[in-house]
Amino acid sequence: MKITMQDVEHVALLSRLELTDEEKEEQLVQLNKILEAMEVLNKVDTSNVEPLTHVLPLKNVLREDEYRDTLPKEKVLQNAPDQEEGMFKVPRII
Amino acid sequence: MSKYEAVIGLEVHVELKTKTKIFCGCPTEFGAEPNTNVCPICLGLPGSTGVLNKKVVEYAIKAGLALNCEIAGYNKFDRKNYYYPDLPKGFQVSQYDYPIAFNGYLDIEVNGETKRIGIERLHIEEDPGKLVHLGETITVAQGSLIDYNRSGMPLVEIVTKPVIHSGEEARVYLEKLKQTLEYTGVSDVKMEQGSLRCDANVSVRPVGSEKLGTKTEIKNLNSFRAVQRAIEYEIARQIDVLEDGEKVIPETRTWDENKGITLSMRNKENPDYRCFTEADLPPLDVSREWVEELRNSLPELPDARKKRLIEVDGLPEYDATVITSTKALADFYDRTVEKYKDAKTVSNWIMGEFSRLLNANNLEVSETKVTPDGLAKLLGLIENGTISGKIAKQVFEEMFSTGDDPAEIVKKKGLVQISDQGQLEGIIAEVIANNPKSVEDYKNGKEKAIGFLVGQVMKATRGKANPGMVNKLLKEKLDQI
């Protein structure tokens, strides 16, 4: 599989990255190199191997339905670039 | 017959009634001051990692079982990635390819026929925060304010198969879903508070066609009535589009309640959610023992309960339907019948006076002071002749607001029925003397005139006269004249 310039632009948009033309070219080369490396792994026969979703042998980590402390309001909004009436304020969405 | 057939699927989000959020210990209460029920986990602050609330898993399984689903043994969680300000982490934790429950159904009744609505899946996910737009609508707003209290509230999303064919079926399914989940106690299921939210996928196709038409998704359905009306409008709109030789555009539409129409919100861009495993949450193995334990903890569900009321208690189907409409009402009925065996009389009072007072005062069963024990005692007082049925209504109203014992109310207010023959005869003689015109009418064959005279006796005794005796004695006296 070959990454195209369109793919680079799409991934950049999804990642909210603004790339210059130069950077896009650079990404195009690098992403293709990464995929080439993956192609090597793809050669391994995994037909009898269950897909691995987690690397640690952990399961059923659960907590009881009990209260924990909430964050004080001034701390909640401490890093908010803008706020109003105790809420985070963001520019127009659509 | 229309040339077209509508195909509808519903996606319903239900907020689970846990004390704390899905991955952190913040309270889930409704209506708290903005951004006070939050912590680093539900704010998505870097470095924070949540731990799954056991109760969320239990409630999801109970909901799945109540909807006749199979329960998955192996569960994992996934990140659904998208950017929207109400989603602080930049992804929503959900179950993408392994829903905890799947392949269920609910039976509904429409126009006297039973129809099985297949349920594709039920999965666990977290709610995003809540946005308040600074302007009339989102598109003209100067900006938006975010309250993250709702962020991380536990949800289950319940998705039907595309097997619903009308707005009415959709509404009835949703009502049945609400009723069933209310019985299990896993959610408040209140549409007006947003703990039950419904989106509808609607498409139409020519009758006989196998292929599904292009669908639109309708949002902002805030009531059962809105669900039905919006779907009916959307079906008609799509048929018009096709009849004009045009194509239905795949898009998200919003229901405008005041105008009674759906409006285009946005084209359905192909969202690239890049779902992948949430590695911060270990997988969840649900044992068969756990599932059985939860199955045994489920209460008798609406269909079974209705059947029992008809078959064991001998109630008419209509009564059984009304009584089992909510668990609270059905419990009230059952506990009354334990103390007063005449099921039909209990049912009449619950469907009549009790429901009337609940509606008039806009109260829920749990908010009233009257108890099943009190109602049973009241019915006993009617049966042994202490009070008439009419007076009983007055007593019940008092019980409804004060919770006082009916016998006490009767005593305090002097409402004991007058069944003393001598006393009644005296009053009847007076009424006959004072109403010669009605007496004459009656003697001339106008039988209805006796009703007026009975009314006068009741009036004179402020409703306390034993109506059966009044009728009998009055007739005797008149026939003697």
Q: What are phi and psi of A62, to 5 degrees?
A: -130, 155
Go through the domains of chain B in sequence order and give each one's CATH number: 4-290 (no CATH), 300-413 (no CATH), 421-480 (1.10.10.410)
Query: A72 to chain B nearest CA, in Å?
Result: 7
Distance (Å, rounded) from C-alpha B104 to C-alpha B71? 10
Closest CA to B22 of B157, B144, B184: B157
Query: A48 to chain B nearest CA, in Å?
Result: 19
- Name the pTM for this structure: 0.86
CB contacts < 8 Å between A and B, how many?
Answer: 123
- Using one digit for the tens of pLDDT, what is the confidence trace for B288-326? 999 999 999 999 999 999 999 999 999 999 999 999 999
Neighbours of B390 (CB within 10 A): 14
**In this complex, which of B35, B37, B83 lies closest to A77 when CB atoms are compared?**
B35
CA of B59: which chain A residue's CA is closest?
A: A65
pLDDT-above-70 percentage for chain B: 99
Distance (Å, rounded) from C-alpha B281 to C-alpha B48? 12
Averaged confidence pLDDT in chain A? 92
**In this complex, which of B132, B143, B282 lies closest to A91 when CB atoms are compared?**
B143
Q: What tokens appear for B83 in the block? A: 């950017």
Within 8 A of A56 by CB-CB distance, chain B residues are 282
Within 8 A of B87 by CB-CB distance, chain A residues are none
Closest CA to B49 of B118, B141, B152, B125: B152
Q: What tokens appear for B465 in the block? A: 């006269």
pLDDT of residue A90: 93
- Does the ipTM surpass 0.90? no
Within 8 A of B284 by CB-CB distance, chain A residues are 59-60, 62
Contact B463, B388 (CB under 8 A): yes
What beta strand segments (E) does B278-350 contain? 284-285
Go through the domains of chain A in sequence order and give each one's CATH number: 5-42 (1.10.20)
**In this complex, which of B24, B54, B143 lies closest to A64 when CB atoms are compared?**
B54
Within 8 A of A84 by CB-CB distance, chain B residues are 145
**Residue in A7, A10, A15, A76 to test binding to B, most B beta-carbons within 10 Å:** A76
Q: How confident is the model at residue B142 (pLDDT cuts 50, 70, 90)?
A: confident
Paired with B206 in beta bridges are B4
pLDDT greater than 80 at residue B235: yes
**Residue in B22, B35, B153 to test binding to A, most A beta-carbons within 10 Å:** B35
**Per-window interface: B 64-83 vs A, CB < 8 A:** 76, 81, 83
- Using one digit for the tens of pLDDT, what is the confidence trace for B265-282? 876 666 789 999 999 999
Q: Does A85 touch chain B (CB under 8 A)?
A: yes
Distance (Å, rounded) from C-alpha A4 to C-alpha A20? 16
Distance (Å, rounded) from C-alpha B370 to C-alpha B257? 37
Contact B284, B52 (CB under 8 A): yes
pLDDT of residue A93: 82
